[in-house]
Structure 1
Amino acid sequence: MPSVKRAIRIAGSSGGFSDRQRAIGDLAKNCDVDCIIGDWLSECTMTLHGAQKQENEKLRKAGQLTDEPVGLFDPTFMDNLSPALPYLKSKNIKVAVNAGASDTELLATTVEKEVKRQGLDLKVGWVSGDEVTETVKRLQANGEAFPSLMNGKPLSEWGHEIIAAQCYLGGAGVAEALRQGCDIVICGRVADAATTIGAAMWWHGWDRETDLDQIAGSLVTGHLIECSAYVCGGYYSGFKRLMDKCENIGFPIAEVDADGSCVITKEAGTGGEVSVGTVSSQLLYEIQGPLYYGSDVTANLVGIVMREIGKDRVQVTGVKGLPAPSTTKVGLTAWGGYQAEFHYHIVGLDLEEKAEWTERQVRYSIGDAIKDLTCLKFSLNGYSQENPRNQEVATVDLRVFVQTKKKALVDKFTLDVPGFNRWCMENFLQSCPGASLDNDQRQSEGKEFFEYYVTLLPQSEVKHRVELPWMGKSIDIPVQNNVTTYPRDQKSYECAHPVDLTSYGPTTRGPLGWVVGGRSGDKASDANVGFYVRHEDEYDWLRSLLTIDKVHQLLEGSDKGRKIERFEIPGIRAVHFLIRDHLDRGFNSTSEYDTLGKNVCEYLRAKYVDIPNKFLRRGRF
């Protein structure tokens, strides 16, 4: 542990497997940082890696798996890490990442081999305990209900067989690995913010039993930087003024102080910005309510305050810590079946009637096989403008989406090609005027998909452990004593003292997003969306306008009539909504375009409301 208790500088190098590969190398080479963290996982990737692990086991038992297992962690991770290794050594920079996915030991071994190949002396450790498939099956057999975090229904009603289960670990294992001398810590499914928590706990010597405010601050810091460029202008409502250098938005750096407060900044000389707006946006991403849960601590977000203290420097304070929950989130993967989709392009006038014409014909072609489809959905996506300026903007997508448990159905209906695509295509010569077929038929070939189920597992059932191969030992990470039980649903409330909206004077009818920024995301099938304003006098208007009923109204044709929860964050002038079970099962199996809940905010910002003219005079987002 460093002798000087200055702030630790932690750089965020990845928000997922699709992030830019330059990150670790550039951050290590060009930036003054103490630790580089990164998130390579998501509910999508965990499902795919978990399913591949089971498939590898089948191949191994059949004697067909002769090479090193593949598909168990992100195959591009080493391309990101390898160029950075010499700089990590020369500058004494630590690395803590969750890239291990479904075989953390295998990735740690791979990293160790690369370190030795480069002739470097770097100690590689890894964190185990997130794999809990047999634990979940045992507890369910003993009567544990495992209710869904999305809808509250018990696991027995899910209707699918578990093939993989991984729980979310906290940062205590990362902290212990660093205390033991690790230079690189490889984790599997630790929580997105856990690597930041672990690095800050190690650096400042915090105690999980007593230093709750400090650890809660690092939990929020980890949330802010775990999606890399999001906090620096990616997905930002004010993106239009960040076009300069948008090709290379910087990766974030967080300076975490001994009291848990932090300053968010970014790589020098890169695009984007760090402002109260960009940091507020990322705070609102994928939260569920006023309490943000982690295995190490619970952070109360209501008192959070942000202020700009310099160019690309935002200070975050006011986070309060509460005991961690006695449970941790666990994601279950099951095989779902096969899915396919077919696309028509239709143009111009009478789009709804043209879509109905096509749907009736396709349904007739499917015939009795329709009873074997678990999902059949027709979606008309887009619209033709009045007096369209070109043919492309007058063209919309009619998507036919199917799911089934078996690839071959009755009456020779199949998700092979030809098959489902033939049932759609055969109607072409009797189709509506202006219809055309998509010229790429690959999506109409049936492919496997997986279901994902999120529930809670007692932390006491988790065997959290740090593995230190160079020392030949393992260290158990026990659950702290100060955990507590929280209800499934968080506090939801309307504005306590709404103002009369007519008191703001003359208004103009226009998109909410002219003056309101926001961000949305997913947690399995739940979607969250948070809105904020830039000026203090706009906040009473925002929180008076955006009631639960108003959000139902704004959702309009996309409203599923399910529960919506609401709370406020005054320190960033924000109102947050959790839209329960909105995403049709979530990324892995959803039939919708908004697979990750990232689009619902921009849809709502496009909806028309009455905006006070005095707000508009300040300029639009």
Structure 2
Amino acid sequence: MIDVPTPNGVNGTSERVMKIAGVSGGVFDRFRALEDLAKDPSIDVLFGDWISEISMTFRGHQRATRPADAERLAFEMSFVAALKPAIKDVAKNKIKIVSNAGSCDPEALAKVVQQVVKDYGLDLKVAFVTGDDVSEQFREALKAGEKFPSLPSDTPIDEWGVEPVCAQAYLGGAGIAEALTSGADIVICGRVADASPVIGAAMWYHKWGREDYDQLAYALVAGHLLECSSYVTGGYYTGFKKELLQVNNCTNCGFPIGEIQANGEFIITKEETAGGVVNVHTVTSQLLYEIQGPLYYNSDVTARIDSIKLEEEAPNRVRVTGVIGLPPPPTTKIGITAQGGWQAEVHFFLTGLDIEEKVELVKRQTLESMGNYRKEFQTLAFNVTGSVAVNPNNQASATVDLRIFAQSRNADLMSAGQHKGVAPDEPSFGKWCIENCLQGYPGGTPAMDLRQSVGKPFFEYWVALFPQEKISHEVHTHDGKTIAITPPTNSKTYPRQQDSYDTSSPLPLDTWGETVKAPLGHIAHGRSGDKSSDCNLGLFVRHADEWDWLRSLLSVGKLRELLGEEDKGKKIDRFEIPALNAVHFLLRDHLDRGANSSSTYDILGKNVCEYIRCKLVEIPKVFYERGII
């Protein structure tokens, strides 16, 4: 930490500003970030997100079901692969690292990292944070009658129908702050909330107290913007055609950097030497990603975000203001894992005419082959992806994919005994799908790689709330000390239902004169994503004079109309962020149990936005003539 002027100045002053860079948005992100950004001595902290709901279910089940004497590897080893080429520069430039790659074994990963430090002959101190494993506390509460209603659906957990194996709490940043304050150079966490590393780092750097709510709320929003790495620098950006493709600026999008001031306000920027773009629209897109409503909850603080303001101060530099801090809730989110059973799929390619009838033929023949065994499937879906072009120019544009997707708790049925090493000659899902090929539809062609037809285990994930006071949140320092992190002393209980409303005083369409019927996405940006089985959708326009049209158009009723057959008939919440010209929807329990067990292709809800943006609406001609996105 050095007193230096902020790059380009912050309100013309010189003050302490923490530079923190997001170097991973998931276990699969580009490994180069940690190595490249460790070379920048102006950066104070590097942090990365190495886990997801999907990986946590696998790791949680792995940890909960392994023998007591088994090797402890329920963490993300890819973090170590990314760390090794960076570690000398991390030490040289005195940069701190915070990572959640500990997943379900932060202690085990910390020991691996300590060995890496030793192997390189460096003097870096490693700490780790525990307490996210609340399996025992969860089981005790369950026995005592706690219902753990699902956050997406409000359904009590006793209606889930599967047996929980573990539960993990989303921890806040206070433990990370304590670890850094105690001298740690590298902090290994398990399941902390996505933004918690930034909150913890900012608390440490600026010496904020646990009731500095405005500052903590800014850090929460900064963490939300930074934690998905290049999502905020051009990734998933609906303006990619003009701002990335046309200028050939898409092959190496820079990783994001936040510059956080002592009062909490911050700037989002990126690596200067890499591609991509940071502007008000990319930041708005990421702000709208995976939020739930006007209140953003964390174990440390609650941020009110419908008052937020963004200003582009310079190319690739966006200032964030207007965030309001409130006390945290007394609870935090927990994710409960259960093994749902086994799943498999078989694909057929259908070409040309009579697609609907060909699907019906496959369906009838397959169900007949299954006979009474069809009752063994919890899920059995025949899904068609794509459509045949009118008078197609090539065979590919005349072909669709028929996916037969099944889930069952009967492992033998899903894999013909192959999971036991038994010869695949028993009745099985894959056999029933394939055996009708020679009496099948015209042009019948299965996908030839049938490995997906062999059942693999899948997991279900239940998201609920858990009292923070029942969590044993602890920091384990480099010198063997254990420091307990107490729950917040000041908290606020919030309603489960956030504010939801259609716009006030909507304007009639003829307010803007003549209209053009065109895809909504020709003039509206957007982003969508998942939180468990909830799906969020944010849409916004580029120009202030288009805001009244967008807010008037996009009511809950209009969204249901645009969803068409995708409307599940479940609750949809809506709120507005006027300063960003944005409307946000939360589609409750929309994603078929979430990413771990979904029967659809859009397991993460990211394509809901693109589906809605392609739907035709009446757009004022004066807006449309400005040019499409």
Q: Same fold (TM over 0.5)?
A: yes
In structure 1, the partner of 2:111 is 109
Q: Measure, in 1, the Cα distance between the counterparts of 2:273 and 2:32.
A: 15
Q: Measure, in 2, the Cα distance between the counterparts of 1:536 and 1:227.
A: 28
In structure 1, the partner of 2:9 is none
Offset of 1:409 from its aligned partner? 4.5
Is 1:335 the counterpart of 2:339? The answer is: yes
Contact 2:150 2:157 in 1 (8 A): yes
2:481 to 463, 473, 492: 473
Q: Measure, in 2, the Cα distance between the counterparts of 1:122 and 1:148.
A: 42
Contact 1:413 1:420 in 2 (8 A): no
Query: Secondary structure of the equivalent of 1:187?
Result: strand
Q: Measure, in 2, the Cα distance between the counterparts of 1:557 and 1:516.
A: 22
In structure 2, the partner of 1:576 is 584
Q: Deviations over 1:392-422 (max 9, x none)?
A: 1111110001111112359x89998563222
Q: 1:318 to 1:476 in 2, by over 3 A?
A: same
Q: Measure, in 2, the Cα distance between the counterparts of 1:203 and 1:180.
A: 12
Q: Deviations over 1:321-364 (max 9, x none)?
A: 01101000000001111111010100122212221121111111
2:79 to 59, 77, 80: 77
Query: Secondary structure of the equivalent of 1:148?
Result: coil
Is 1:391 the counterpart of 2:395? The answer is: yes
Q: Which runs of 5+ in 1 are unaligned?
A: none
Is 1:606 the counterpart of 2:614? The answer is: yes
Q: Measure, in 2, the Cα distance between the counterparts of 1:555 and 1:166.
A: 34
Superposed counterparts of 1:481-560, under 5 Å: 481-560=489-568
Q: Deviations over 1:228-286 (max 9, x none)?
A: 00000000000112021312111000001111111000001211100001000000000
User: How many aligned positions are there?
Assistant: 610
Q: Deviations over 1:92-149 (max 9, x none)?
A: 1111111100000000111111001100001110111101001100011011111111
Query: Secondary structure of the equivalent of 1:247?
Result: coil
TM-score (normalised: structure 1): 0.96
In structure 1, the partner of 2:623 is 615
In structure 2, the partner of 1:208 is 210
Superposed counterparts of 1:15-54, under 5 Å: 15-30=25-40, 32-54=42-64
Q: Measure, in 2, the Cα distance between the counterparts of 1:413 and 1:185.
A: 44
Query: Secondary structure of the equivalent of 2:380?
Result: strand
Q: Measure, in 1, the Cα distance between the counterparts of 2:64 and 2:469.
A: 26
Q: 1:283 to 1:417 in 2, by over 3 A?
A: farther
Contact 1:407 1:414 in 2 (8 A): no
Q: Measure, in 1, the Cα distance between the counterparts of 2:406 and 2:418.
A: 11
Percent identity of equivalent pairs = 53
Q: Measure, in 2, the Cα distance between the counterparts of 1:273 and 1:88.
A: 26
Q: Measure, in 2, the Cα distance between the counterparts of 1:231 and 1:8.
A: 19
Q: Measure, in 2, the Cα distance between the counterparts of 1:581 and 1:414.
A: 34
Superposed counterparts of 1:220-259, under 5 Å: 220-241=221-242, 242-243=244-245, 244-259=248-263
Q: Deviations over 1:541-569 (max 9, x none)?
A: 00100000111111101111111000001
Q: 1:182 to 1:469 in 2, by over 3 A?
A: closer
- Comparing 313-322 and 48-57, the one that deviates more: 48-57
- Comparing 321-330 and 242-251, the one that deviates more: 242-251
Q: Measure, in 2, the Cα distance between the counterparts of 1:350 and 1:562.
A: 33
Q: Measure, in 2, the Cα distance between the counterparts of 1:437 and 1:255.
A: 53
TM-score (normalised: structure 2): 0.95
In structure 1, the partner of 2:7 is none
Q: Measure, in 1, the Cα distance between the counterparts of 2:337 and 2:146.
A: 18
Is 1:449 the counterpart of 2:450? The answer is: no
Q: Measure, in 2, the Cα distance between the counterparts of 1:274 and 1:389.
A: 39
1:322 to 294, 308, 326: 326
Query: Secondary structure of the equivalent of 2:333?
Result: strand
Q: Measure, in 2, the Cα distance between the counterparts of 1:560 and 1:435.
A: 32
Is 1:172 the counterpart of 2:146? The answer is: no
Contact 2:330 2:488 in 1 (8 A): no
Q: Measure, in 1, the Cα distance between the counterparts of 2:424 and 2:18.
A: 56
Letter in 2 for 1:340: A
Q: Measure, in 2, the Cα distance between the counterparts of 1:38 and 1:483.
A: 28
Superposed counterparts of 1:84-483, under 5 Å: 84-209=86-211, 211-241=212-242, 242-243=244-245, 244-409=248-413, 417=424, 419-470=428-479, 472-483=480-491
In structure 1, the partner of 2:8 is none
Offset of 1:571 from its aligned partner? 1.5
Q: Measure, in 2, the Cα distance between the counterparts of 1:536 and 1:355.
A: 47
In structure 1, the partner of 2:21 is 11
Letter in 2 for 1:352: E
Q: Measure, in 1, the Cα distance between the counterparts of 2:326 and 2:386.
A: 46
Q: Deviations over 1:407-441 (max 9, x none)?
A: 2359x899985632221112112222233111110
Root-mean-square deviation over aligned CA pairs: 1.5
Offset of 1:469 from its aligned partner? 3.2
Q: Which runs of 5+ in 2 are unaligned?
A: 5-14
Superposed counterparts of 1:587-598, under 5 Å: 587-598=595-606
